[in-house]
Amino acid sequence: MTSDVSRDIKKDVNGSLISGVILSILGVIAIAAPSLSTLFAETWIAVILIFAGFTKLVYATQTRHEGGFIWKLLLSGLYIATGIMLFVYPSTGILTLTLLLGSFLLAEGTFELILAFKLRPQENWTWILGDGIITLVLGAMIWFQWPFNATWLLGTLVGVSIIFTGVSRVMLSLNGRSSLNPT
């Protein structure tokens, strides 16, 4: 019984290690081809919106007797139309998503700065201040370089995220492997 459990854990560790390596390689590819990965990310968001819109449409029809049917229907139409627009006009979608990301980071950075000063009497409040400043600077960099950064920015950020996910998976797998084989 114990050997079966150890074998299953080791198999999971190996699978996790392999997926971590694959994710790391995909992240490097995404950064090496940022325009292609940006287009892929934009298309993926379009597909998600279309799918979510149809899911909302099904929900609207299933709950049409509970009220708000028209609003649910309009909301599902908005999701579907936005997804289709992103899918049909990917370059406009990339510009829009990049500007939206910059706006989000500017707003988040501003709120984090406000929060940091509200927490100022507490110990370690400067970590939130630093996070707010960095987030604000990133948002400003996106805004001030827009639209020139739109073709590569989203793909690069997705690539960096995928690399960190892959590396963390590899490190957790190696840690799990070493705990299975104590020396």
What residue ranges of the chain have pLDDT lower than 70? 1-11, 176-183
Distance CA 64, CA 81 (A): 21
pLDDT tens figures, 30-72: 999 999 999 999 999 999 999 999 999 999 999 989 888 999 9
Q: How far is CA 149 from CA 45, 78, 102, 115, in A?
A: 19, 27, 11, 30
pLDDT at 5: 44
> According to the model, what pLDDT value does residue 175 have?
76
The DSSP code sequence of 119-155 is TTTSTTHHHHHHHHHHHHHHHHHHHHHTTTTHHHHHH
Query: How confident is the model at residue 161, as a pLDDT?
Result: 87
